[in-house]
Amino acid sequence: MDTQILISNITNPTLLFFLLGVIAALVKSDLEIPPGSVKFISLYLLFSIGFKGGQELAHSGLTTEIIITLIVALTLAALVPLYSFFILKRKLNVYDAGAVAAAYGSVSAVTFVAASGFLEATQVHYGGHMVAAMAMMEAPAIIIGVMLIRKFDEHKEKHQSMRYIVHDALTNGSVLMIMGSLIIGIVADTKQAEGIKPFTSDIFKGFLAVFLLDMGMVAAKRFKAFRSYGWFVTLFGLLMPPFNALLSILITSLFHIEPGNRFLIAILAASASYIAVPAAMRLAAPKADPGLYIPMALGVTFPLNITIGIPLYWWLVNNF
């Protein structure tokens, strides 16, 4: 692996702010980002990447590569929770296994943003349709996770209807914001869109840095909460992301897909949801422990991906 890429990623200001958040939590500092501000920033990040992706998608059109990329993304969103569930079910109950499997089948928008920032810093092109791929990967993983819980639930208790689950997955705030922004970006007039470019582009990295500062504090606090589950879940959170990334890289090597897009597919496959899935699982699988699947995604997998994962997956893309 190119050590220069690793060093460049580790010294990225946004990542350093994440580490500052971790340190702040560990030393029990009173540093705090107001919850309302964090919610606004998270919505802003989704709006910005969705709108910019829509603009790029409008310019590029619907090519064979785009269609193949979207199909691969949906396939991974369905495949990852399937085999993850059966691995997890060996040690966890059905509810927790289904929720964790859904989280790892789904995606992290913030990890995607950090990865796209890495590509921009290294001047590697990627398509706007990757935002559409990210948005499309949210719902299938949630639906499959809930279906697996239903099928293997020995108590056969009454669950929410599948129609309700699908509706909840698609109307989740984060999914709706990024999908809506993507569509607006596609239909918006290019000249008119230039008027909001300072808001969608120029201040983006600053808001991302503040958001990752808060994520660092949250991750450090929640990581402590699930240590009682033992080494199995920690190892899963550390080993499954590189495995999923490698699987996606091997699949995309079979098609003519640009390196930047292959890298982002790998990032999406490797990431785990700590926003959309918890919101859906609270309704669809209330017996699943959020003290398990949220810290796994946010306290283990997220830091792994944005520190070691990004340069590792980029190296794999260039060697496979």
pLDDT tens, residue by residue, 278-296: 777 877 788 888 878 888 9
- Compare 280 and 88 and report the one with higher pLDDT: 88
Residue 158: pLDDT band with limits 50, 70, 90: low
pLDDT for position 117: 85
The answer to whether position 29 is within a domain reads no
In a domain, 9, yes or no: no
Q: Measured between alpha carbons, how far is 251 from 255 in angstroms, rounded to an integer?
A: 8
Q: What is the CATH number of the domain that holds 159?
A: 1.20.1530.20
Q: Is residue 24 part of a domain?
A: no
Residue burial 122-135, b: 16+ Cβ < 10 Å; e: rest: eebebbbbbbbbbb
Which DSSP string corresponds to 110-160? HHHHHHHHHHHHTT----THHHHHHHHTHHHHHHHHHHHHHHH-TT-----
Residue 4, domain member (yes or no): no
CA–CA gap between residue 222 and residue 232 (Å, rounded): 17
Residue 65, pLDDT above cutoff 60: yes
Share of the chain above pLDDT 70, in %: 89
Cβ 138 vs Cβ 172: under 8 Å: yes
Residue 22 has pLDDT above 80, yes or no: yes
Based on the structure, what is the number of domains in the chain?
A: 1
Which two structure tokens, joined as six digits, stand for 72?
């691969």
Crossing angle of helices 64-88 and 231-252, in 10° steps, is 150
Measured CA distances, 279 to 63, 100, 192, 274, 276 (Å): 34, 13, 35, 9, 5
Rama region for 235: left / alpha / beta (φ>0; ψ in -120 to 50; rest)? alpha
Q: Is residue 26 part of a domain?
A: no
Kindly state whether residue 272 falls inside one of the protein's structural domains: yes
Q: Which amino acid is at 262?
A: R
Q: What phi-psi label fits residue 123: left (phi over 0), alpha (psi between -120 and 50 degrees) or beta?
A: left
Radius of gyration of the chain (CA): 19
Global confidence as pTM: 0.80
21 occurs within a structural domain: no
Residue 145 to residue 132: CA distance in whole angstroms: 21
Alpha-carbon distance of 117 to 310, in angstroms, equals 11
State the average pLDDT over residues 26-51: 87
Domain that holds residue 69: 34-319
Mean pLDDT of 53-75: 86
Q: What is the mean pLDDT of the chain?
A: 85
Q: How many CB atoms lie within 10 A of CB 98?
A: 33
Question: Region 272-283: what's the mean pLDDT?
Answer: 79
Q: If you average pLDDT over residues 237-254, what whole number do you get?
A: 97
